Structure formats: C-alpha cells, structure tokens
A and B are shown apart, each in its own frame.
Chain A
Amino acid sequence: AQSVSQHNHHVILSEAASLELGCNYSYGGTVNLFWYVQYPGQHLQLLLKYFSGDPLVKGIKGFEAEFIKSKFSFNLRKPSVQWSDTAEYFCAVSPGGSYIPTFGRGTSLIVHP
C-alpha cells in the first residue's frame, strides 16, 4: 500500500521567512500529487496539484511545489510567508488511474507576525 510521509509535524516561522515543507511517498508508478491547506476551523481546500508536465507547479497564494520523481518527493515552498498562512498543510498522493488519494499526517504551520 502506498504511504505519504510529511516529516515536519510542526513548523513555526516569522513573517517574511521562507517555507519548505517536505512530502515523500512510497509508490513506484505514475502518481497524481496534491497539496491541501486547512485554515483554522475550516475545511481542506486545494493549494496546488500535479498530474503531468512541468514538475514545478504553481498554486494559489504564492505557493509552489516541485515534483522530483527520483526522490519520490513533492515539497511545498513559499519564498515569504504571511501570518495568514497559519494553517495545517496536507500532502496527498494517488496512483495514476486511481482517484483515491492517500493523505499525509499534515504539517502544522504557525507564522508569527
């Protein structure tokens, strides 16, 4: 069975700091990759997704992620975080052709103003 690992469980940053959240998965075939965000008290919503093509994906609110196939990774980045980015971030992976995503445990990000 596939698994998704998010190594950073809690991240605390100051505003304007750069962000990188790690995501690794265990599946050898074609994959679809997602990052979701859950703001406090809200539901999950899509930040960005990768199905094919350019491995550098740009999402909403200045976030981007890079798919590195050789490393089975899909790390999320943002060059300068804001207080409003405080949220829980989830990486999700589904095998190509299957639309059942497996979610990582999530990373809690706190941004201090």
Chain B
Amino acid sequence: DAGVIQSPRHEVTEMGQEVTLRCKPISGHNSLFWYRQTMMRGLELLIYFNNNVPIDDSGMPEDRFSAKMPNASFSTLKIQPSEPRDSAVYFCASSLSHGELFFGEGSRLTVL
C-alpha cells in the first residue's frame, strides 16, 4: 500500500525564495497534519485539516507560511519568502478519525 507521499525530499534554496512542499495523504484518510521538526523545538504541529478544511492553524509561525488542501488527495505548504530559520524537516501525516498518524518521509528544507 502506498503511504503518505511527500515531495521534494530535499530542498535547498536561498533566503527570500518561495518554497512549496507537497503531500499526498493515504487514500481514504480524512485528516491531514503538517509538522515541522527541528533540533531546538522538536516536532511542532503547524496545521491540521479535517475533510480538507483547516481546523487548527495556530501553529503556523507567521504570515509567510500558508497551507492548502484543495482536495482529499493533495495538500501544499508554502513559505514565501523563506528565511534561514525555516530550515527544518517538514512532515506530512494523515489519519482516520481514530487518531493514529501515518507519516511521510519528510521534506528536508535548507534555506541559505
């Protein structure tokens, strides 16, 4: 079975550039999460969608970050403009309502 698919796996960009991370959740899952992992702050929830609707975006750091889920099989996390402190591994995860999360491989972002 296909798991959660994220792209790109690695992204190196320069400060000020736009970054778009993509996620395809597991088919049939109705919840989607974006997490950011850093050494300093651990695993932080950025935003949570349920049935394609953003439910909790309180973890989105600032207006430079935006996330969309236009349909049940696709989500994007966009950073514009990017800054060096955005460097992290970004994980997408999906689940059914029982709460067990299935994570993607992550997108490692480096902003120079």
Binding site for B on A (CB under 8 A): 32, 34, 36, 42-46, 49, 51, 90, 92, 94, 99-106
Stretch of B18-26, B60-68, B72-80, B92-100 with 4 or more beta carbons under 8 angstroms from chain A: B92-100
Say how far A50's CB is from chain B's closest CB, in angstroms: 11
B interface size (C-beta, 8 A): 22
Q: Can you name the residue of chain A whose Cβ is closest to the Cβ of B96?
A: A99
Binding site for A on B (CB under 8 A): 31, 33, 35, 42-43, 45, 48, 55-56, 91, 93, 95, 97-106
Contact B98 A99 (CB under 8 A): yes
Say how far A110's CB is from chain B's closest CB, in angstroms: 16
Contact A44 B99 (CB under 8 A): no
CA distance A106 to B99 in the complex (A): 19
Contact A49 B45 (CB under 8 A): no
Q: List 13 A-B contacts (CB under 8 A).
A: A34-B99, A34-B100, A42-B105, A44-B43, A44-B91, A51-B99, A99-B97, A100-B56, A101-B99, A101-B101, A102-B45, A103-B42, A105-B42
Interface centre among A32, A51, A92, A103 (most CB of B within 10 A): A103
| Chain A interface, >50% SS class | strand
Contact B101 A90 (CB under 8 A): no
Contact A49 B48 (CB under 8 A): no
Say how far A63's CB is from chain B's closest CB, in angstroms: 15
> Out of A46, A51, A104, which one reaches B101, CB within 8 Å?
A46
Say how far A108's CB is from chain B's closest CB, in angstroms: 10
Residues of B within 8 A of A45 (CB): 103
CA distance A100 to B104 in the complex (A): 17
Say how far B31's CB is from chain A's closest CB, in angstroms: 6
Contact B103 A94 (CB under 8 A): no
Given contacts A94-B99, A99-B98, A101-B99, contact A106 B48 (CB under 8 A): no
CA distance A94 to B95 in the complex (A): 13
Q: Knowing that A34-B101, A44-B101, A99-B98 touch, tell me 17 more A-B residue pairs with CB under 8 angstroms.
A: A34-B99, A36-B101, A36-B103, A43-B103, A43-B104, A43-B105, A43-B106, A46-B101, A49-B99, A51-B99, A99-B31, A99-B99, A101-B99, A101-B101, A105-B42, A105-B43, A106-B42
